Structure 1
Amino acid sequence: MTDAHNDSEAGALRRRTNTTRRVAATPETASAPMISDVPLAPADGLVAAPRYHRGAPAAEPQPAADAAPRSSRREQRERPSFLQQERHEEPARSGARGMLNRLGFSLAPGAAERAIRDNETLVGQHWPGPRTIAVVNGKGGAGKTPTTVLLSAVFARFGGAGVLAWDNNQTRGTLGWRTDTGPHDRTLFELLPEADRLLGAGAQSADLAHFVHHQVREKYDVLRSKPMRLAQENRLHSSDIDAIHAVAAKYYRLIIIDSGNDESDPMWLRMIDHADQIVVATTTRDDHAEAGALLLEALEERDERSADLARRSVVVVTQADRKATPADVEQVVTGYRDLARDVVSIPFDHEMVDGHLRLSALAPATQTAWLAAGAAVARGL
C-alpha cells in the first residue's frame, strides 16, 4: 500500500510539473525567465562553468583583464640578422697600395681612392624620374660641347644606359661633329614630326634608334641638330622644345643639353624652364669667364626658379689653353665661388682640343677631374 501511495503521489507531481511547463509556454509568460536560465551564484572560491543553450554558438573564453600577452618564441629570442652584416671595404686597386694588393696583400684604399669611389657612387645613382641638365655660356668656344659630351660619358659609364646628349643650338651646333655617327643622318628635325607617335602607348624605346646616334664605346645617345642649315632654318618654337623634351624624358633618365649662345632665343629660354640643374662651361679666357658670370647674374633677375638654378649651378673651368698657368685657373675658380654652388677645374688635355671626344681617350688625371665634375652635378639632382 505504501508503494501504491508513493506511485500516486509521483504521478500527481508529474502532472503538476507538466501543467507548470504548459503555463510557462503561454504567450503571457514567454518573456519570464525560466529557472534554468537564471545563473547560479558560484560557491566561494569557485568559478561557475558557462552554461550553453542547445543550438547557440559557443562563446570563446575571454582572457583575464590583467593577463600579460604572450610573446612569441621569435620575439623572446634575439639574434643578429645574417642579412645585416657590415660590408667590408674593397681593398685598394690603384697606386702603391693596389700594386701591393696584386702581390697578395690586402690594404685598404687611401684617401684619394676613397674620394674617387665616392664620386663613382654619386654619378652611378638613379633618380626617381628623369633629370635635365643645361650646359650654358653666352660666349662661343667656352667649352659647352666638350662639357656636354664628357659629362654624358661619365654618367653613362658609371650609371648605365639612359643618357641623352641633345644639341639645342640654333646656330651651327657641333655636338654631332664631335661624336660618332650612327647608321643614319637624322636629327631632331626628323624626330619632331614623330613626337606624338613616340609619346603614344604603342611606341617602344627601340624606335628612337631611327633618330638618335648611339655612342657604342661611351654608351650614351646623341640627338643632333643640323649645323649645315642657316640659323633661321634651325629655329624652333617653345612648343617644339616641349615636344622634344617630352619624348626625351619618356625614354631617358638623364638629359644633358648643349645650348646655343643666344640667351634671348625661345629655344634657349625654354631649355632653362625644363632644366633641373645648370652647368656653366668656361675656359680660363677672361671673356669666357665674364660671359658665364653675367649669365648667372641675369638668371638671378629673370624669375625665382631661374634664380634658384643659378644659385645651385656648377661651373666647369676647362684649361683649354696649354699656356694657362695654375694661377690663371685658380683666379677663375675663385671668382665663381660666390656665384655658384660648386666649381670644378679640368686640366689641359690635347685629346679635348679637336676631333671626336671620348672619355676613355683622356689622360687618367683628366678622367678623374671629369668624374669630379659629374659628382658635383649629381649632388644637385
Structure 2
Amino acid sequence: MTSKKNPDAENDDLGVLDDAASVDTTALGVLGQTAQVTVTLPGGSDDDDDLGEDSVLDGEFSGEIVEGVIESAHEDDTDVEAENSASGDENAETAEVVVESIAIVTAAAPSASKSSAPKSSAPKSGASVSSAAASAPAPKEAAAPVTTPKEHPAEVTLASKRLGDQLGQSSRETADLLTADRLLDPSQVSKPEPEGAWSHLLYTVSGRRINIGDGKRARARKALSTRIASPLTGGARFVPVLSRKGGVGKTTITALLGMALADARDDRVIAVDANPDRGTLADRIVRTHGKSVRDLVRIHDEVKGYHDISAIVARDSTRLDVLASDADPRIAEAFSDEDYRNVADVAAHYYSLVLTDTGTGIVHSVMSATLDLADQIVIVSGLSVDEARLASETLTWLETNGYEAQARAAIIVLNQSTPGSPLVRLNELEAHFRTRARHVVRMPYDPQIAGGGAIVFGGLQPETRQAARELAAVLVEGLRVSAA
C-alpha cells in the first residue's frame, strides 16, 4: 500500500485523518467539545504501524491511553448514567474535567513520539470510520473514564428524637401524665354497671352482655357532679351566706350547700358558724363533741396539722366539717372581727372552700372581716314581700359600701320554708333578682328540713337534693370565673 501525506495535514491542529494520510493525533468528541490527544502508535516498522480496517471499525486502537479511556467508559456506563440522571449540570462539569485530564496526558507524552514513528497511509474509508469511532462515544460514556468513580454520599439515617432529648430536663414527662385515659385501651376496659331502670334491666336480662350506658337521668346527675367537682386553683375560697331577716333559712342553706359540695368534691369543705347570737349550724348535723369556734381561736397559733383541727370540728356523712359557735350567747358575743380572721387564717391552710354562716344582719362585729375575705356571696330570701325587700336592700347596701363586684356576682336563693303554694309570684320575684345578681336558685320545701333536726343529705327529697346540687354547681362556676 502506497502512503502519502496530505499537504494540509501538517498544518491541521485537529489531526483529522483524510483518505491519504495517517497522523499520530486524533480528536475525541466530549460533550460537544473537541480535545486533541497525542497517540503513539506501537512498533517501529511500516508494517507494524499499519492499522487494519477491521480494527478501526471495531474501535480497538492499539494506543494504551485511548484503549483505557474507551474500556473505562464501557465499564462505568451504568454509574455515569445514574449520576447524570440525578443532575443535568454535572455533565458539563465532568466534560471540563475530561478535557483537562486528556490535556495533561498529552503534555506528559514524549515530544519526540510525534516525529519518530513513520506515518502509514490508510484508506479514505478507514480514516472516516476512525474519526467517527473516536468521536462516537456519547458524552455520558466519555465523561466517566478519566474521573475517579464518584463516591455516593453516605446514607442519612433519620431518627425521631423526643423533645426531651434536645431540650434536656425541662421537657421530661412527670408521673401525673400517666393517666388512665392515656394508657388504658378502651376496648379492654369494661363499662361500669349502667344506671337507670331500662338500662339496668336490659343489662341484667342479657346476662351483663348488653350495656347501653346510663339512662338520661343518671347522665344528667353525673354531669352535675362533674360541674360541682371542677377544680379550683389557688388558695382557699371564702363564701359568706347573708340574710337581713331571721327565719328565712340562712343556716339551712349553709348546711345544704356545704353538704352538696363535700359530697361531690374530693377536697375539704368547712362551714363556720360565725353567728354572734348562738348559731344553730352544728345542730343541723350529728355532733360528736361539744367543741366550738372558740376552741380554735384559743389554739390557732399552735395548730401543726389537720389532725389538730379535726379534733374540734364535727363531720357529717358527706364529709362536711362544721365549726360550731359557742352555746352560751354571752361568750359568743365576744367572737370579734379579729377572732374570725384568726379562724379564717387557719382554715385557709387546710380547706379549699370555707362557708360562713354570718347570722342575722350585716353590721355586726364579724361582718366586716367576712365581706373583706369574700370571694362569692350567697343571699337568702324568704318567699314573702318583706323578706324579698330585705334581700334586695342587702344588695343595695353592698353596692354602696364598696362591695359592688360581690353584689353583682351574688347568688340569690329563694327558700321556701313552709309547705303549699307561696303567696308571692315566684316568676316575678325571680325576674327582679336576675336584674341585680348573677344567679337565682329556688329551694323547695322539704319536711325533713322543716322538722328542725339534723339533716341527712341522702334522706332529702330528690327535688331538694337537686336544688342544693344546682346551687353548689353555680357557686363553683362563679368562683372559677372570678379566678380567671
- TM (norm. structure 1) is 0.71
Deviations 1:274-331 (A, max 9, x none): 111111122212222221111112111111xx21111111122222121224973333
Structure 1: runs of 5+ lacking an equivalent: 1-43, 46-66, 76-80
> Over aligned residues, Cα RMSD in angstroms?
3.0
Alignment pair present for 1:364 and 2:462: yes
Q: How many residues align?
A: 303
- Which structure would you say has the larger Rg? 2
3-state SS of paired residue (1:324): coil
From 337, 343, 350, the equivalent of 2:447 is 350
Could you say which residue in structure 2 is the equivalent of 1:333?
430
CA 149–233 in structure 1, closer or farther in 2 if over 3 Å, else same:
closer
Residue among 186, 194, 208 paired with 2:299: 194
Q: 1:291 aligns with which of 383, 386, 390?
A: 390
Structure 2 CA distance for aligned equivalents of residues 189 and 263 of structure 1 = 21
* Aligned partner letter, 1:228: D
Identity %: 25
**Residue matched to 1:115:** 220
Aligned to 1:277: 376
Contact 2:240 2:355 in 1 (8 A): yes
In the alignment, which residue of structure 2 is the partner of 1:173? 279
Q: Which residue of 2 aligns with 1:315?
A: 412
The equivalent of 2:37 in structure 1 is none
Q: What are the equivalent positions in structure 2 for 1:130-279 lying under 5 Å apart?
A: 130-160=236-266, 162-182=268-288, 184-198=289-303, 203-215=304-316, 217-230=317-330, 234-279=333-378
8 Å CA contact 2:383–2:422 kept in 1: the answer is no
* 2:472 is aligned with 1:374: yes
> Contact 2:412–2:441 at 8 Å: present in 1 too?
yes
Measure, in 2, the Cα distance between the counterparts of 1:82 and 1:156. Answer: 28
CA contact (8 A) 1:349 1:363 kept: yes
In the TM superposition, structure 1's runs of 4+ consecutive aligned residues that sit over 6 Å from their partners are: 67-70, 84-91
Question: Are the counterparts in 1 of residues 287 and 314 from structure 2 also a CA contact under 8 Å?
Answer: yes
**How far off its partner does 1:178 sit?**
2.0
SS in 2 for 1:211: coil
CA contact (8 A) 1:214 1:222 kept: yes
Q: CA offsets per residue over residues 201-240 of structure 1, 9 Å max, x none?
A: xx1211113321122x22111111124323x852333222
112 and 298 in structure 1: CA distance in 2 versus 1, 3 angstrom threshold: farther
CA distance in 1, matches of 2:369, 2:155: 66
Stretches of structure 2 lacking an aligned partner (at least 5 in a row):
1-95, 98-153, 163-180, 480-484
Q: Does residue 94 of structure 1 match 2:192? A: no
- Under a length normalisation based on structure 2, what TM-score does the superposition of the two structures give? 0.57
| Distance apart, 1:170 and its partner CA | 0.8
1:61 aligns to what?
A: none
Deviation at 1:92, TM superposition (A): 5.3
Shift of 1:160: 3.1
* SS of 2:329 mapped into structure 1: coil
User: Cα distance 1:112–1:340, how it changes in 2: closer, same or farther (>3 A)?
Assistant: farther
Partners of 1:92 and 1:333 in 2: CA distance: 37
Seen in structure 2, the aligned counterparts of structure 1 residues 99 and 324 have a Cα distance that, compared at 3 Å, is farther
- Using CA pairs under 8 Å that are at least 6 residues apart, name the structure with larger relative contact order, 1 or 2: 1
Question: Alpha-carbon deviation of 1:177?
Answer: 2.1
